Structure 1
């Protein structure tokens, strides 16, 4: 094994070249921002987009936009950044010995020696407390859902040790915002939010299986489980199933959100969101090459755009 970089100027191996952290952040802050994956914003997008889906469909459902919804939009953006950072920090604390054995992750701040475990714990707590300040501006039901999500965040890093389906646990955690934000707007949890949550989980199974194919060789050597290893050469067939589940469940969420009060035009536009998202996911499948880690990383990153597509349609439906 090659020597680990310890300088704060040493980038993480799988971060984009010339990312904003490496270029602009003060040297003392870079290891902590890398610990939060601030140099790789895709995770923040994947956590944030289900929140915004939930808000858009909640407004479509009750046709009652409020000024407070603008704060929900902004608060979700800040909160997603903070909670993704806290979650990644917790993940790196629990996985520090595993990360040392994986080529793609051994340059991360803890295994490379840039950040101590004690400092990482303190950084995790700071991020979580800042996110809690935002959470406490929401209603009581949403606050309760926010605290329940901590159970999922806590368990997720350990899932790959006891199940071949750790991506399910990631999906449960990453899409919780759809439930929380729907409730923050409506004050209660309605059935379309549950369907949206389930559709988001299916989407997570899709993109995180793609992501996990980057590490299958190292994971096999150290005994880490994943759907990528479980499916192997059958991954394309499973990914098609996840695609269909994503489109079907989010489509049902849009349907039942629009039916009570929205116009026919708004219903049609809202249903166009998951339909168009499905075509983007199908495009990803056409480029799939499970033996090419660089290509799999590229396809994984493309899911930011896949998730933005239904958001655009849902927002347009609100204007119809």
Structure 2
């Protein structure tokens, strides 16, 4: 193992206040590290809100925005946890060889595979309860994402671009959010999905630089290893594509000036990430990765304000 810190934070408030027997499960679901839940949730919220903004579009009487926002939040929390559980079940032998992940509940033996399987079923059941609140089309669409979730842990073994597969997975909510409101898919949702994939390629490449030395030693692939010193140039490509797709989605929907202010501020944040990231500094990579929560809020605020400012 190389000398990188464990990603388990035993002093986190959620862990500290929880009963001892629940703590391994909470860490398995990454409830002590909510950034992944936010990154999964934002595409759902963006798409849902964008779907309500078309001039003259009449929302169904059953649509309650606040209720849908909460449903997506619960669903993102459950499915992110399920995804992490599947990932750790598949990667437990690899995780033992990496200092940052060696103390994860399955890698360390704190939980058994049988316990993890039972917990996975519990999380998927919560996801199912959320799913049945939506229309039939969005239910089928959302359920199909489980294939992406199951396959993701194995991508790092066969391709240097597992971050692209993560993008396909994490941004599926951009399709589901739109479908939950409208019962169909159209161009703006697809643009959000493509832009979200590019966004994920950017932020998860930064994240992957934390583990590049360990990954190279144990034979796991990533865009951090593939792009290496050219990472910042590729971040320009990823984040530019993201911005173009998001902006085009807003243009197609005819959104007004607050949306474009949001796009501008988001672009400045991307520029800051690209120009200041230190790819050989694990702490800085983690900080830049987490800062993408700000991107989520900026873009959501732009959509919301454009829909509500007269």
Separation of aligned partners in 2, 1:281 and 1:14: 25
Are the equivalent residues in 2 in contact too, given 1:270–1:314 (CA < 8 A)?
yes
The residue correspondences of 1:160-309 to structure 2 (distance < 5 A) are: 160-258=156-254, 266-309=255-298
Q: Which runs of 4+ in 1 moved over 4 A?
A: none
Are the equivalent residues in 1 in contact too, given 2:232–2:275 (CA < 8 A)?
no
Separation of aligned partners in 2, 1:57 and 1:181: 9
Are the equivalent residues in 2 in contact too, given 1:146–1:180 (CA < 8 A)?
yes
Offset, 1:272: 2.8
Is the aligned partner of 1:85 residue 2:81? Answer: yes
Structure 1 residues 153-205: Cα deviation after superposition (integer angstroms, max 9, x where no partner):
01111000111100011000100001001000011111110001000000000
Offset, 1:20: 2.2
Structure 1 residues 247-284: Cα deviation after superposition (integer angstroms, max 9, x where no partner):
001111111122xxxxxxx4222233233212111111
SS of equivalent to 1:60: coil
Is the aligned partner of 1:147 residue 2:146? Answer: no
Partner of 1:8: none
Partner of 1:263: none
Separation of aligned partners in 2, 1:176 and 1:299: 23
Partner of 2:24: 31
Separation of aligned partners in 2, 1:16 and 1:182: 36
CA RMSD across the alignment: 1.5
Are the equivalent residues in 2 in contact too, given 1:152–1:173 (CA < 8 A)?
yes
Partner of 2:106: 110
Is the aligned partner of 1:60 residue 2:53? Answer: yes
Point out where structure 2 has 5 or more consecutive residues left out of the alignment: none
Is the aligned partner of 1:22 residue 2:15? Answer: yes
The TM-score normalised by the length of structure 1 is 0.92
Aligned length: 304
Separation of aligned partners in 1, 2:158 and 2:263: 33
Separation of aligned partners in 1, 2:253 and 2:175: 13
Partner of 2:41: 48
Separation of aligned partners in 1, 2:259 and 2:8: 35
Which moves more between the two structures, 36-45 or 55-64?
A: 55-64
Separation of aligned partners in 1, 2:188 and 2:50: 8
Separation of aligned partners in 2, 1:125 and 1:274: 39
Are the equivalent residues in 2 in contact too, given 1:272–1:310 (CA < 8 A)?
no
For residue 6 of structure 2, the aligned residue among 10, 13, 36 is 13
Are the equivalent residues in 1 in contact too, given 2:15–2:26 (CA < 8 A)?
no
